[in-house]
Homo-oligomer: A and B are copies of this chain.
Amino acid sequence: MLAVLDAWWGGLKGEAGARERALLLPRLYFQHFTTTSFLVEDDGGEVAAFLVGFLSQTDRETAYVHFVGVDPVLHGRGVGRALYRAFFDLVRAHGRRWVHCITSPQNMASQAFHTRLGFTASGVQADYDGPGLDRATFTIDLSTTPAGTP
């Protein structure tokens, strides 16, 4: 998984970037949150896209999308949108109304994508995840998002 990430992110921020992505995706997510995560493989069985999410344990009306990746050769073909739609339908079935996620403030493509899906941006918060780790935060209200969308 981490190998494809480096390819997909084009080695963004070099070795430090690869380490950063690895630390954001420890193995625990692929062990303990598989029931709310999705993996798309291509015909050859290679990873083509994935979404890692979970149900909030604290707030029973909330779910969270932690990490999403789509092979750049598939960008623009609705794969990311389909992953979010599948996640929304799944967490709705668990009674979740709100979905939160964050992106890097530098990632304008991701921010535009989330806005198109119907997420509301609540702005960039400095040092959100620690010193120098600013984040743009997003929320969607599934109660006003028709089932089977976006």
Contacts and interface: CB of A to CB of B under 8 A. Distances in A.
B58 A32 contact: yes
A33 interface: yes
Copies held by the complex: 2
Given A26-B24, A28-B64, A28-B66, A34 B18 contact: no
Nearest to A32: B56
Contact of A57 (B22, B24, B54, B59): B54
Interface residues of A, number: 34
Interface string A1-36: 010000000000000001110111111100111111
Interface of A: 2, 18-20, 22-28, 31-36, 54-59, 62, 64, 66, 100, 128-133, 135
